[in-house]
Structure 1
Amino acid sequence: MTDDARRDAPTRRDAIKYGGALVSGGLLAGCTGDGGSDSRSSGAGSNAATDTPSEGGSATRDSSYSVTMEPVGTVEFDRVPETWFPYTGDYADMGVALGRGDGLLAIGVRARFGTHLYEELPGVSVNEDDLTQLWQDGTGKEIFYELDADVHVIDPNFMINRLQWSRDDVDEVAERVAPFFGNTGFTRVYDWHDYRYYSMYEAFEKLAEVFRERARYEAFEEYHDEVLADVQSRLPEDTPDVAVLYPAGMPPESFYPYLVGSGTQSKHWSDLNVGDALARHGVTDAQVSGGTVDYETLLEIDPDVLAIRLQGEITPEYFEREIVSHLRNHDVASELRAVRNDRVVYGGLTYQGPIVHLFQLERAARDLYPEEFGDEQLFDRGRVADIVNGDR
């Protein structure tokens, strides 16, 4: 089908559509919000599992309902979406946590979605090979038509600013296939993101409204707070300065620097109250500059801890062999305090939702504070699985 034919075709999907709040430029205009509070008690939730309207989401007696999130505005649903896909793994993980893994059709890049972690959760699984990879030397509109999902859990501004879509492209797919619903929150460094940010659990709550899975959301929120309170109660007063780095090649001779900010990609580090060694020395996040830092620069900063971020399933053996051993044997890297003190740790995946976050919080806490946490399991796999499976 040609682009002109698509635009002239009648709308295929009336069951799930944009509500009246989305007018002309309102979809992508980068409107300002309330400053992006990280508080999860923002009042933005709704009783999404019922037909009772509440702030942030409403439902009518005929079971239609609407959910509001910046920058997309208000999206109206006449039925609960059955098939869906995000671009990034943070929203994929949220959907799985809400018991919607069976309807997940695709992901931007398979290797960046931590499906291997679900293997520790009884009865929870996502077969990565069954997911269509959206990135295929770019991401075109055609794949959205082929997948024909009920909702695209993607910030439309991400499609424009990171994947070079036009506003017309977004509007076309939203009208002819299904709406976009999402807010880029894994990082907070993009200059085009000049509207409200949502914390992990604020975004999770919004997606729960879309899928009408309020009970699962509340169960996760409650358990997250329990786990985090326990971990934080055991942290020392003095916490280390950490440099979060992504190898520019293997074996690494330089790294892309990532700041420990308030985006969801850094939540496990922020939860552990670490300092940001890179930010304190004026290093710019790679997601802004695209630049790298070499070992000489790192030696000038000399962080307490090097947290090396890698995608995919990273075993301790692989990390020791490919990262730690290389640094120990490197003429310059071996002089770093973190290397000398055996403080080179796994930095985790970039994209994390509520399930992946618990795993990454546990691993980071063990690595930073082995005397306190050792090999202890810091959260109950069975309880998490029960929430996902709807057993509590």
Structure 2
Amino acid sequence: MDRRRFIAASGTALGTILAGCTGQTETQTETQTEGETTAESESYTVSIEPLGEVSFDQVPETWVANNGSWADMGIALGQEPPKGVWLTSRYHTHYYDDIPGLSVDKSDMVSLSKSGSVSKELLYELDGDVHIIDPNFLMNRFDGWKQADIDEVRENVGPFFGNTIFSTNYPWHDDYRYYPMMEAFEKLAQVFQQQERYEAFEAVHDEFQANLAPVVPGRSERPSVAVTWASGDEPEKFYPYTISSGTSFKHLHDLKVKDALAKTDVKDFHSSRGAIDYETLLEVDPEVLLVRGQEAKSAEEFQNTVVEFMKNHDVASSLSAVENEQVYRAGSLYQGPITNLVLTERLASDLYDADTTLYDRQRVADIVAGDF
């Protein structure tokens, strides 16, 4: 297979990587800065750990994303949706219903994870110009992926560019830094050469934070919440999440909630892969119970199924959160600049009875459409 037009140069944690030629001549000596092109060449370089410097000789048009965090960033930058994400079911495009005129069609989007593994052949088939995927995620989460496979896909299909930003609880992530959502977003903006769009979204994010600040009460009045994962309409077991770094917890950090599980004997799901039952939840007895795995439901559907089931459950009905009607959807694992606005405002309404609009929906729509 012919080499692609995109190249990746020396990496930090993954060693020296090369996927093609830059097409530059000896006369092209003008210095390039990260994320910027020169007057004499379209080639540009963007740096991200663990890959180091990744160079492109043309702006990518098609792409594959690890998850909804990166997918949402691409949409915010005015790009076509990625050809694939890890699980399409966890990329909740209905969040865009809040934004005037914005919708994303997932009908042709492919789930990269099939029966718990990711096929190298699928990446060949998708033929993306760039893979916004942390190679360490592939090599540590899925059997069969080795450095040689990463090198092969990069050489024959397109480079990798990414960092596992949604969670820092994987032990293999200790070897290199984690990027907060907005910093990762800025990196992707450099890949797609959409720095002005990023700057416009940065202003929206800053204004949102300013609007949110007076909504969040003082520490003594903030609720203690337990974050769990439970699917189905009648959950009997829960996977516990302690609130840590990562885009999956950004809205909770922004809302400054207290972590009900942090100082208990309950082990975080990432380290234990274990579940807890209602009896254990009752021992913790959080003020608020936040349930993940329920994002396909509306608030009303969630209350009429999961919460109604808890109210009629012998043990769950004794939980303070159930008695006080403080059980809510927890929000997605994967958040980008648009979905974070939607989820943070939603949970601010749930937790703090905020009845005000915290961000300008039309402004978001305008930026995505190219009106900065």
The answer to whether the superposition gives a TM-score over 0.5 is yes
Residue 156 of structure 1 corresponds to 135
Residue 241 of structure 1 corresponds to 224
Which residue of the other structure, out of 198, 208, 213, is the alignment partner of 1:227?
A: 208
5 Å-filtered alignment, 1:95-134, equals 95-100=74-79, 102=80, 104-134=82-112
Residue 212 of structure 1 corresponds to 193
Work out the CA distance in 2 between the residues paired with 1:103 and 1:346: 26
Provide the secondary structure at the position in 2 that maps to 1:280: coil
Give yes or no for the alignment of 1:12 onto 2:3: yes
Give yes or no for the alignment of 1:383 onto 2:363: yes
One-letter identity of the residue aligned with 1:251: E
Q: Which moved more, 1:314-323 or 1:86-95?
A: 314-323
Work out the CA distance in 1 between the residues paired with 2:120 and 2:329: 36
Change (3 A) 1:52 1:363: farther
Residue 51 of structure 2 corresponds to 72
1:225 shift after superposition: 1.1
* Superimposed CA distance per residue, residues 150-200 of structure 1 (whole angstroms, 9 cap, x where no aligned partner): 000000000111122111111110111101100001011000112111000
1:283 shift after superposition: 2.4
Work out the CA distance in 2 between the residues paired with 1:311 and 1:76: 39
Indicate if the aligned counterparts of 2:36 and 2:193 stay in contact, CA closer than 8 A: no
Residue 63 of structure 2 corresponds to 84
Residue 40 of structure 1 corresponds to none
Which residue of the other structure, out of 149, 153, 156, is the alignment partner of 1:173?
A: 153
CA RMSD of aligned residues (A): 1.8
Residue 22 of structure 2 corresponds to none
Work out the CA distance in 2 between the residues paired with 1:192 and 1:160: 10
Work out the CA distance in 1 between the residues paired with 2:351 and 2:310: 18
Change (3 A) 1:335 1:59: same
Indicate if the aligned counterparts of 1:243 and 1:278 stay in contact, CA closer than 8 A: yes
Work out the CA distance in 1 between the residues paired with 2:286 and 2:63: 41
Work out the CA distance in 1 between the residues paired with 2:165 and 2:283: 31
One-letter identity of the residue aligned with 2:299: P
Provide the secondary structure at the position in 2 that maps to 1:279: coil
Provide the secondary structure at the position in 1 that maps to 2:345: helix
Work out the CA distance in 2 between the residues paired with 1:23 and 1:329: 55
Identity, % of aligned positions: 49
Provide the secondary structure at the position in 2 that maps to 1:146: helix
Give yes or no for the alignment of 1:318 onto 2:296: no
Change (3 A) 1:311 1:143: farther
Residue 6 of structure 1 corresponds to none
* Superimposed CA distance per residue, residues 276-309 of structure 1 (whole angstroms, 9 cap, x where no aligned partner): 1111214222122110111111111111100111
Indicate if the aligned counterparts of 1:84 and 1:105 stay in contact, CA closer than 8 A: yes
One-letter identity of the residue aligned with 1:254: K
Work out the CA distance in 2 between the residues paired with 1:358 and 1:228: 10
* Structure 1: runs of 5 or more not aligned: 1-8, 29-50
Work out the CA distance in 2 between the residues paired with 1:229 and 1:347: 23
Provide the secondary structure at the position in 1 that maps to 2:73: helix
1:378 shift after superposition: 2.2
1:361 shift after superposition: 0.3
Indicate if the aligned counterparts of 1:123 and 1:389 stay in contact, CA closer than 8 A: no
Work out the CA distance in 1 between the residues paired with 2:138 and 2:294: 22
* Superimposed CA distance per residue, residues 225-247 of structure 1 (whole angstroms, 9 cap, x where no aligned partner): 11111112221112111101111
Change (3 A) 1:368 1:25: closer
Which residue of the other structure, out of 191, 200, 203, is the alignment partner of 2:171?
A: 191
Provide the secondary structure at the position in 1 that maps to 2:228: strand
1:27 shift after superposition: 6.5
Change (3 A) 1:368 1:312: closer
1:122 shift after superposition: 2.6
Moved over 6 A (4+): none
1:24 shift after superposition: 9.2
Change (3 A) 1:357 1:27: farther
Work out the CA distance in 1 between the residues paired with 2:272 and 2:162: 25
Work out the CA distance in 1 between the residues paired with 2:136 and 2:56: 21
Work out the CA distance in 2 between the residues paired with 1:354 and 1:149: 23
* Superimposed CA distance per residue, residues 258-279 of structure 1 (whole angstroms, 9 cap, x where no aligned partner): 1211211000010000011111
Work out the CA distance in 2 between the residues paired with 1:96 and 1:76: 22
Work out the CA distance in 1 between the residues paired with 2:109 and 2:332: 18
* Structure 2: runs of 5 or more not aligned: 18-29
Residue 45 of structure 1 corresponds to none
Work out the CA distance in 1 between the residues paired with 2:267 and 2:199: 37
Work out the CA distance in 2 between the residues paired with 1:79 and 1:126: 25
